[in-house]
Each structure stands twice: as structure tokens, then as C-alpha cells.
Amino acid sequence: MGDSKLADQYFDAAIGLLRRVRDEEAEAVAAAGTLLADTVAAGGRLFAFGAGHSSLAAQDVVYRAGGLALMNLLAVPGVVGVDVMPAPLGSALERVDGLASAVLDSSPLRAGDVLVIISLSGRNALPVEMAMHARALGVKVIGVTSVAYATETTSRHTSGTFLKDHCDIVLDSKIAVGDAELTLDTVPAPFGPASTVVTTALLQAVLATAAGSLADRGLEPPLLRSGNVDGGHEWNSRVMEQYRDRIFYRH
């Protein structure tokens, strides 16, 4: 089997998953997009959180061209990305009880805001506790997770529950347990993770829905433009100034 065949298999697997979430999660995507639009229109704020590689999808919707300027990253020290040294520390921190509550209590999040929580397995203490505590604060929670983990693994939170159990809206990424789409007889472990591709696409579909929903109400969606096109910086400066009290990554 040549390398090109494996590449084709990976693309086919990713395309198959994207088709599944497009078809099976359409209702949830629409609901999530409407919730974001409702929140923006009502003066609420938007936040996204992910731990480990799930943080990539959260970072993908913050301060980017074509994205909503109001999406803020809720950062938890030591778990956002692989720049943590040593890297396994980030995984360990996801299992620490009390960390999520401490982060939320010192964050700007308040009742009426929306928090997107991305966790592939949804089983670790951090995302579960974050969803529970956020809802107790009156924050709406959108969870992006693989529901399969809830039936095929056990929770690492003291409640025995998963992220999906504490969300107002759940977006199921359909990723199989283990997050690896390819296998070979000559390779001892599965490989070819697709969760980033699918989760990022899910969130961008939600944001596109939110932008359209705002436009349908006669409201200009607070979108950012590329700084690499003429007028981009001026455009972004105007948007950031207009919404400065709801954008936390510029202070």
C-alpha cells in the first residue's frame, strides 16, 4: 500500500465525517447559531474553551478573518495547546478537580453569556466541571464532543457524568473513540486523527449560521476582515472599537 492510498483514505474518512455532521447535526448547528445570534443581539458575550488539541478549534474561532469579533478565548493556564512543557502536564491538569471553577470565578463570564466547550471525549474533570459551573452562573453552554465516548468509556469526573450531560446544546462530532481513522497490518497503532478537521468545521458552520441570523434581523454581524487585504486594519479597528466592552483579547 503506497502513501498516496493512505492519503486518499484519510481524505475519504474526513469527508465522510463532515457529511455525517452536516446531515445529522443540522438541527443542533442551527440551534447553536441562533443562540449565538440571540446572545449578540441581547448584548451578551461569547467565549470558547478547549483543552489540549481541542483548544485548536477554540483558537480557530477567536480573532480571525471572517470570524465573529465577539468570540473570546477562555484560557486555562497549562491546558491550551502543546506549548506546555512537559506536554503531559496539560493532560494531567484536565483531571484536576476545582480548576475549572477557579478559572470561571476569575473570568469575565456572567449570566446571559455563551460558553462553547470543546472536548473530544467529554470525560475529564475540567470540561465537565466547567459546564456545570458555567450553567450555575447562568451561562448558556454549547458542548462540542464525541457522544460515542459517553457509551464506550467511563467519566473521570466525580459525578460520573460527561460534558454532553451539562449542555444547553450538544454538537456531536461523531469521532470514534481513539480519534484515529486509519489502520495498517504493519503498524501497531491506529493513526490519522480527524477530530480537529471536523470540530473546526462544526464551529465555523455555527458561526456562519449566527452571522446569517443576525443579518436576517437587520443587524450587521460583527465580523473581522483579513489584515492582509486593503482596508482590513481600518475595518477591524472600527469593529473592535464598537464592541470594545465585549472583546477581551485586546486589553
Radius of gyration of the chain (CA): 18
pLDDT at site 3 = 60
Distance of alpha carbon 130 from alpha carbon 127, whole angstroms: 5
pLDDT of residue 85: 83
Question: Which distant-in-sequence residues (6+ apart) come within 8 Å of 191 by Cβ?
Answer: 180, 182, 183
Going by pLDDT thresholds of 50, 70 and 90, the confidence category of residue 88 is confident
Kindly list the distances between the CA atom of residue 224 and the CA atoms of 34, 46, 220, 242, in Å, as whole numbers in the listed order: 19, 15, 12, 12
Residue 109 above 90 pLDDT? yes
Which of these ranges, 67-81, 106-120, 143-157, has the smallest mean pLDDT?
Answer: 67-81
DSSP state at residue 233: H
pLDDT at residue number 239: 97
Task: Indicate the SS3 state at residue 123.
Answer: coil
Cβ neighbours of 249 (radius 10 Å): 12
Which pLDDT band holds residue 44 (cuts at 50, 70, 90)? very high
Contact assessment for residue 57 and residue 199, using Cβ atoms and an 8 Å cutoff: yes
Question: Would you say 135 and 161 are in contact if contact means Cβ atoms under 8 Å apart?
Answer: no
The Cα 78–Cα 94 span in angstroms is 9
| Strand, helix or coil for residue 209 | helix
pLDDT, mean over the chain:
95
| pTM, to two decimals | 0.96
pLDDT at 201 over 80: yes
**Predicted pLDDT at 2:** 53
Read off the pLDDT band of 226 (50, 70, 90). Answer: very high
The pLDDT, as a whole number, for residue 11 is: 98
Longest dimension (CA), the chain: 58
pLDDT band at 89 (very low <50, low <70, confident <90, very high): confident
pLDDT at 231 over 60: yes
Closest among 76, 15, 29 to 210, alpha carbons compared: 29
For residue 155, pLDDT over 80 is answered with: yes
Residue 60 has pLDDT above 70, yes or no: yes
In the block, which residue shows the cell 467529554?
122
